[in-house]
Structure 1
Amino acid sequence: MPALPPYATRELVAGRLPLIFPEGTPNRTYCVRELAASTVFTALYIGAVEGAGHCLGPVHVYRMTEEQAAKADQTDREAYGQGVLKKNFEPQGRRWYADNTREPIRDETLRDGLVAVGAVIRREDMPTTSGLPRYALKSDFAGLFDPALEGEDLEKAITAFQTKHLSKGALARISIMLAGAAASKEGVRIIFPNGETRQLAPGPSSIISKAVIEGFAARFLEAPAVLWLSESGNKVVARDDKLAAKIGLKIEADKNLPDLILADLGPAEPLLVFIEVVATDGAVTERRKEAFFELTDIAGYAREHVAFVTAYQDRQSAGFKKTGAALAWGTFAWFASEPENIVHMRDGTSKFKKLSELIVAS
């Protein structure tokens, strides 16, 4: 019988999961909550690790008790791993969970959480109706819970795991979250298209604004310029009256203005881009779109030379989940974690009517 992984307490597992899966990880709640810590602990406890020949089932988790979990001897751990599969087996003490926790363990913690992020593997050679255990921790993931692994060595191991197993989008989301958390009291430094720099207050909205000005504008505008930038607590942060006057737009601070107004000076007719930055709320809804159109109509702008973008941190963010359904047709949605992509809320006025035409056009 191969040796089991080093014994790690559930408390140690619970403490390391948020480090391994920081803010920005897809379905992070499923990967870091208590049920996830219980599942990973139990997998380590019975030796359900890639290549070891043992598998975990939800039954191993919901039948675990505090008394059993405290037995660190290999013989006790092996006995539990095998015995729990027997119908009449009951470990000493009170169970962690009831039998009806089977579904959250299987569907949320494992399938949508740890399997989805590459921390757990699942046997696919078994019938879906089989009740036999089928899950095991990836070996490099299991290694992150060795109590002897600490400090800088632990940090390096976690980084290596994230780089190998988390998707490009997930890593981007994590980087954005970490940048927001690390923003100093001095604020977030933004470099404008003309090379000018400005400092915004720290916070998620400032991080998204930085991504819009430094990333979105460069990717999606030919010759970008910033006409207006505002933030909570300081409505007008940056404003170029001469440039605004040059393109015929009269900006008034007491009007219903967006967080950002960009201009693309590349086309023969400049394009105005109204952008709402959403950390929690404030997307470009139909009402907001019409309010912005009122401003550009007065300025004499043709509506085909005006665009609207709602900028989010990522598709997993609370802001997008809250406001995505209210996005106005004919507008765009952009995610800082996936900067090369953009979502077009194409309305019924489009010349494309069939799905096949849309596929060709894209």
Structure 2
Amino acid sequence: MTLCAVSPLRIIVERLPVIFTDGIEHRNYIVREMAARTIYVMFYAGAVEGSDEWIRPSQVTDMSDDQAVRTDEDSRRAWVANSMSTKKVRPAGSWYAPNSREPVRDETIRMGLIPCRAVIERTGVPTTSAKPKYALNAAFASLFNPELTDEALDHAIQAWQAAHLSKAAMSRVRLMKQGAAVAKDAVPVTFPNGETRSLSPGLSSVIAKAVIEVFAPHFLKQPTVLWLSESGNKVVARDENLANALGLKIDATKALPDIILIDLGADAGGADMLVVFTEVVASDGPINRERKIALTAMALEAGFDERHLAFLTAYRDRSGQPFRKSISELAWGSYAWCASEPDHIMELWAGHARKLSDGTLE
């Protein structure tokens, strides 16, 4: 059987970030140069679904620029035979050191391309076997056809994403795309009571909208917005009637958080009330230890009960730089939530030890 055509490396490099857009988990592993070269080697070896040709990670590290440009059938088959031989000769200009096969295997293939269903794994091969066992998904491989361009390429990519990415991944992709688009214009926000306000354009407003419209109804019983501000301490919403009814004093001259949510819980009288101080992080400014202490002191002074306080830092996505930059700063006893994964919340537990041995938290 004749080996498949080899897609140019530059095409692979160009299209990977388009295929794997913001929101894909471990995206950094599958849009980097190592991923492009891994895919190129699969093409070079003819390892595409249905061909019964496969590669192993060491072949990626053994490839060189000189070899990569020799794309005739004989050169490719000779290289495959040599790269699989126990007496193989590694060229001086190999792409990577021999010990780089671990990140090729573990990060690029196992954590990146396989979960996205861009690469398939040969069945019946033991985990410890040195036999080649990785190949490109046929539909994924077709996305790198140089003749596929413009609108036809866009449609092909969208169809592949819909058919192969998980529902969770597609939800994250859609949210990230919507966020990028909305961030350019005024951001309309619908409050729990049905009232609508507009926030200034920007990523912070996109995240704030998600906190109010998605987080609040999902994680709170009877949510309402007590306070909403934008950068520069511009007050967008301030519910004086609710604050007075609950005996709370909100001093706008103090460093209040971006959002204050109130959950009246099951008790409309407020005895079961929960106050959620929320910081929206588009670049920096999470609820760290110092911020939590300051907000707690301010809340106690204003008449809040410490037992009814919660602290939330909201992000767009945990794969983004803002989350990675600030995760180590988050205060114990606070929560973190990402708009791209709305059904999940992270708790930085600060209470007594809880045993995990029986599979439950008590």
The bucket for the TM-score relative to the shorter chain is 0.7 to 0.9
Contact 2:183 2:202 (8 Å CA) reproduced: no
Distance 1:332 1:29 in 2: 25
Distance 2:176 2:225 in 1: 25
Equivalence map 1:108-187=2 (5 Å): 108-123=107-122, 125-183=124-182, 185-187=184-186
SS in 1 for 2:84: coil
Distance 2:308 2:233 in 1: 28
Gaps of at least 5 residues in structure 2 are: none
How far 1:122 sits from its partner (Å)?
Answer: 2.4
Q: Does 1:307 align with 2:310?
A: yes
Contact 2:207 2:315 (8 Å CA) reproduced: yes
Counterpart of 2:286 (choices 280, 283, 286) is: 283
C-alpha change, 1:6 and 1:357, in structure 2 (3 Å) is: closer
- The answer for the alignment partner of 2:42 in structure 1 is 43
SS in 2 for 1:195: coil
TM-score (norm 1): 0.88
The one-letter code sitting in structure 1 at the alignment partner of 2:256 is L
The one-letter code sitting in structure 1 at the alignment partner of 2:223 is P
1:108-153 CA distance string (max 9 Å, x none): 2222221232211223533444333221111221121122222333
Distance 1:93 1:329 in 2: 51
The one-letter code sitting in structure 2 at the alignment partner of 1:302 is D
Distance 1:66 1:23 in 2: 30
Q: Does 1:259 align with 2:258?
A: yes
Distance 1:6 1:202 in 2: 46
Larger mean Cα displacement after TM superposition, 29-38 or 150-159: 150-159
In percent, how many aligned pairs have the same letter? Answer: 48
Contact 1:66 1:93 (8 Å CA) reproduced: no
The one-letter code sitting in structure 2 at the alignment partner of 1:258 is P
Distance 2:348 2:334 in 1: 5
Larger mean Cα displacement after TM superposition, 40-49 or 234-243: 234-243
Gaps of at least 5 residues in structure 1 are: none
Distance 1:286 1:130 in 2: 49
Q: Does 1:319 align with 2:319?
A: no
How far 1:284 sits from its partner (Å)?
Answer: 2.4
How far 1:15 sits from its partner (Å)?
Answer: 0.7
Equivalence map 1:216-235=2 (5 Å): 216-235=215-234
1:153-190 CA distance string (max 9 Å, x none): 32222223222332333222222221222235333222
C-alpha change, 1:114 and 1:222, in structure 2 (3 Å) is: same
Distance 1:146 1:38 in 2: 16
- The answer for the alignment partner of 1:359 in structure 2 is 360
The one-letter code sitting in structure 2 at the alignment partner of 1:287 is E
SS in 2 for 1:334: strand
SS in 2 for 1:359: coil
Distance 1:42 1:354 in 2: 47
How far 1:336 sits from its partner (Å)?
Answer: 1.5
Distance 1:281 1:238 in 2: 22
Distance 1:315 1:329 in 2: 18
SS in 2 for 1:126: coil
Q: Does 1:84 align with 2:83?
A: yes
C-alpha change, 1:120 and 1:340, in structure 2 (3 Å) is: same
The one-letter code sitting in structure 1 at the alignment partner of 2:360 is I
C-alpha change, 1:233 and 1:299, in structure 2 (3 Å) is: closer
Q: Does 1:296 align with 2:296?
A: no
Distance 1:242 1:196 in 2: 15
> Alpha carbon RMSD of aligned pairs, Å?
2.7
The one-letter code sitting in structure 2 at the alignment partner of 1:260 is I
- The answer for the alignment partner of 2:237 in structure 1 is 238
Contact 1:48 1:55 (8 Å CA) reproduced: yes
Contact 2:38 2:60 (8 Å CA) reproduced: yes
TM-score (norm 2): 0.88
How far 1:54 sits from its partner (Å)?
Answer: 0.7
C-alpha change, 1:148 and 1:330, in structure 2 (3 Å) is: same
Contact 1:263 1:271 (8 Å CA) reproduced: yes
The one-letter code sitting in structure 2 at the alignment partner of 1:290 is I
